[in-house]
Chain A
Amino acid sequence: MDKTIITTLGLATIGAIYWFFFGTKEESRIVSDHWDIAVQGGYKPAAIRIPHGKPAAITFTRTDPNTCLEEVVMSDFKIKKFLPINTPVTIPLSPAKKGIYEIHCGMNMFHGKIVAV
């Protein structure tokens, strides 16, 4: 009986973990050339839309002391920036082509994306 309960609970936990981390997350459809991304336990918003072929700027503000997030990397644009805590850092970008460009932390644990439309 104990085993049945524990096993059921365990399987439910696995399902919950799967849903929590891999379930579909909402994405904003707004297109803007200025974005503020809060760096706290990841990137908020994690997906942003910017117009292609025009200069845009993203301001990152890290409030999370986790050193994992202290660097933001956008390899497609050859950008790697140190984000001092509680200090906004603005990064100008101008994606020439439409597409998805990745944002991630220095250790590649946290991910976000820039969709150039």
Chain B
Amino acid sequence: MKTSFPIIGMHCASCARLIERQMKKTPGVIDAAVNYGSEQASVEFDPTLCTVSTIAKSIESAGYKAIISSDRQKTPNDIKEEAKRTELADLKTKVIVSSILSILILLGSFPEWFPFVPPLLNNAYILLVLTSPVQFWVGWRFYQATWSGLKNRTASMDTLISVGTSAAFGFSLLTTLFSRQLAALGLPNIMYYDTAAVIITLILLGRFFEAKAKAHTSDAIKKLLHLQAKTARVVRNGEEINIPIKEVKIGDIIRVRPGEKIPVDGTITEGSSAIDESMVTGESMPVEKRSGEPVIGATMNKTGTFLFLSTKIGDETMLSRIVKMVSEAQSTRAPIQRLADVVSGYFVPIVLMLSVVTFLIWFDFGLPTQAFVNMIAVLIIACPCALGLATPTAIMVGTGRGAEYGVLIKDAAVLETAHKIDIAVFDKTGTLTRGKPSVTNIVPIGKTTENNLLILAASLEQGSEHALAEAIVLRAKKRKFHLSTMTTFESVAGHGVRGIVDGKPLTLGNRTFMKRESIPFTAHERTISTLESQGKTVMLLASGKQLLGLIAVADTLKDEAKEMVASLKKLHIETWMITGDHESTARAIAQQAGITHVLAGVLPQQKSDKIQELKQSGAHVVAFAGDGVNDAPALASADIGIAMGTGTDVAIESAGITLLNKDLRSIVTAVRLSKATLSIIKQNLFWAFAYNIVLVPVAAGLLYPITGWLLNPAIAAFAMAASSISVVGNSLRLKTASI
């Protein structure tokens, strides 16, 4: 029998040889080969002598892991989820047992407060029996972590807890066993079983809630991963077959029916449909797609049935790239975190030393019993976790929230800088404008009406594939006009088109064409020049030798541009436009958008120099939004590069932010998201620092001489547990913050 399975843990080709040898040594294995590159093992074995799992075990004994069938379907994410579930279940059991025992211990420890408790529970030995499982079974994880840390000469949160609770437990144990001897030495007969038990219970309860809350910080990635379709209906040998998505190849023709998910990225080859891309791009309206247009995997087909050619699969699909970008961004560190990073490196040893100082000061100058309690309180209250969680959790939720809006953020530094933008520069064509011409003016002449002019022009142009023709036909279709039939059609390159519509000979084109055809138009030269000065292309329509009217076509401003500029102004961000167009054309567009600063006549290669100049003139934080490949240098040289749309990799690679939905208003969303995230990070860092700076001295008893305040270690444990949860909880607020 032959089988193959993936192997993990190999780090060089010699590992592959080692595994091969190991497998061959297994009784029943006939032949075995391991490919280091593909991390796959193929093995031939006699099933009567051994099984796949015995082979896997033998591989494991060599220090590697074979992923056999039951594991094979699991993604790394599934493995993580499973580990998290097991951990939560284990924590839950321990928290429940520990809580019950702690309540009993607490009731038994204070007979003066709880006189109704049976005297048996007040017995020191009974308390010892009740506390031991809490200390050593429930709290075992703290010892384990402390021990492995000490072996490495490092310390963590767990070190503080295990040292603190062990001190409380150890002292109580001595008191229980040797109460007489201690009394003879003049030491007080006090027990801290309740302290040890309550601390462990509360810290563990805190961990339980923290683990639950932390799981939600990566919800965005999980949501994205769940979008993926499981199967694809591929046309092979003329038959449609359902296959798992992993088996789809580039070049496959795939059928998608209404209500189905598009499995991979590709291009429509037959049919058309409205596609809901909101899950990937954040664009809320379904997009009409026809043959030749690209479709994105994991988006939802709404109305039509179509066939498409798969062009990108696996890690190359848009969804995979989004997931990769988001998870990469979540792994980066924000510069604001630097101080917390430095502090956390020294935190635990310093707290350990501080606790000894507390003990000494109280022992030498105060009450010896209080010295012990305060030392424990210092150990327990210190919370490095809150410092460690403050920034990353907010960054995780923030970048995830961005992805939901179709705003992809490259790294934490970008998210941190975006709120400081004070100049936003926009490339004109394709960024501020649609990048496609559309009809801007229809000027009828003589008795012709506007509608008539458009119908005639569109009827003539329906046979043409020119971008200007498309704009005219689209406008007529938008107005739901019925187009007349065209009988003969001729396209004259560089001039225009002519043909016969409803029996009338029509000519549509530029001035040169009119001159060539001897059609008089000079009476309208002023109108034509005015339109041209606005950056528009003017076409003249004539019937025979009589001019019927003018149609001006131009690349127009995106609908949302004006609103975006106004919103940015409200955020005190200056807007600039950069373009290679002439000053007058550029100004006309800028004015429509409400942009006051224009950099016209800039060659593509000069764009990045202009951005540099702006950055240096008065220490501005400059954002540049562009979409083309030639924008890449400018995107890279800006403080924040914003790439528009699903555009190609070069622009996205150079940009800090990518707007998948191509909606300019998302720039405002990105700035607001950055502001919101930053304010959450600042709050988190403030609380995490303030918490430790204020409460550690209080626990040490610094306020005692002035106010008489001391901190009970159990309350310290509660505060400590609450601090981590509050930091994670505060970051989760970003999920619902209005942006």
Q: Which residues of A contact B (CB under 8 A)?
A: 3, 6-7, 10-11, 13-14, 17-18, 20-23, 25, 34, 36, 40-44, 46, 57, 59, 61, 64-68, 70, 73-75, 78-80, 82, 84-85, 87-90, 106-111
Contacts and interface: CB of A to CB of B under 8 A. Distances in A.
B152 A41 contact: yes
Interface string B63-82: 11100000000001001100
Contacts of A40: 148, 151-152
A46 B8 contact: no
Max count, chain B CB within 10 A of own CB: residue among A20, A46, A57, A74: A20
A59 B65 CA distance: 13
Give 9 closest A-B pairs by Cβ, nearest first: A41-B148, A80-B331, A88-B9, A42-B152, A107-B388, A41-B149, A21-B349, A66-B145, A78-B328
B411 to A, nearest CB: 7
Contact of A68 (B8, B147, B157, B349): B157
B480 interface: no
Interface stretch (B225-233, B352-360, B448-456, B563-571): B352-360
Given A17-B353, A79-B331, A109 B388 contact: yes
Interface in B141-167: 141, 144-145, 147-158
A97 B124 CA distance: 63
Interface in B184-204: none
A85 B83 CA distance: 9
Interface of B: 8-12, 63-65, 76, 79-80, 83, 87, 141, 144-145, 147-158, 207, 211, 327-333, 340-341, 344-346, 348-349, 352-353, 356-357, 359-360, 363-364, 384-385, 387-389, 392, 411
Contact of A89 (B8, B211, B352): B8
A42 B149 contact: yes
Given A36-B11, A44-B152, 10 more contacts: A14-B357, A18-B353, A20-B153, A21-B155, A40-B148, A40-B152, A57-B12, A79-B331, A90-B11, A108-B344
B10 A3 contact: no
A46 B64 CA distance: 22
Given A41-B152, A90-B10, A80 B327 contact: yes
A106 to B, nearest CB: 7
B129 to A, nearest CB: 26
A115 B675 CA distance: 35
Contacts of A13: 356
Given A84-B79, A109-B384, A66 B141 contact: yes
A18 B83 CA distance: 36
Contacts of B388: 106-109
Contacts of A66: 141, 144-145, 148, 156, 158
B188 to A, nearest CB: 14
B525 to A, nearest CB: 60
Contacts of B144: 64-66
Given A21-B349, A108-B341, A41 B154 contact: yes
Contacts of B154: 21, 41-42, 110-111
10 contacts: A7-B363, A18-B353, A20-B153, A22-B346, A41-B150, A43-B152, A64-B144, A64-B145, A90-B9, A110-B156
A90 B8 contact: yes
A6 B152 contact: no
A42 B352 CA distance: 18
Contacts of B151: 40-41
Contacts of B389: 107
A75 B329 CA distance: 9
A64 B327 CA distance: 25
A113 to B, nearest CB: 12
Contact of B153 (A25, A57, A85): A25
Contacts, number: 143
A107 B356 CA distance: 26
A34 B558 CA distance: 53
Nearest to B210: A67
Contacts of B153: 20-21, 23, 25, 42
Contacts of B147: 41
Contacts of A46: 152
Contacts of A61: 9
B11 A80 contact: no
A79 B332 CA distance: 8
Contacts of B83: 70, 82, 84-85
A13 to B, nearest CB: 5
A17 B389 CA distance: 26
A80 B330 contact: yes
A88 B64 contact: yes
B308 to A, nearest CB: 32
A97 B643 CA distance: 27
Contacts of A23: 153
A88 B60 CA distance: 11
B345 A111 contact: yes
Q: Please indicate which of the listed interface residues B148, B328, B345, B353 has the most CB atoms of chain A within 10 Å of its own CB.
A: B148
Nearest to B63: A88
B332 A75 contact: yes
Given A34-B12, A40-B148, A7 B156 contact: no
Contacts of A7: 360, 363-364
Nearest to A108: B388
Nearest to A45: B152
A64 B148 contact: yes
Given A66-B145, A67-B211, A14 B356 contact: yes
B360 A11 contact: yes
A107 B149 contact: no
B696 to A, nearest CB: 16
A44 to B, nearest CB: 6
Contacts of A70: 83
Contacts of A80: 327, 330-331
B356 A88 contact: no
A85 B443 CA distance: 74
Contacts of B359: 10
A46 B65 CA distance: 24
Nearest to B396: A80
Contacts of B353: 14, 17-18
Contacts of B63: 88
A83 B144 CA distance: 18
Nearest to A70: B83
Contacts of B384: 107, 109
B414 to A, nearest CB: 12
Contacts of B211: 67
B739 to A, nearest CB: 24
A43 B340 CA distance: 20
A35 to B, nearest CB: 8
Contacts of B76: 82
Contacts of A85: 83
Contacts of B411: 78
Nearest to A8: B360
A68 B356 contact: no
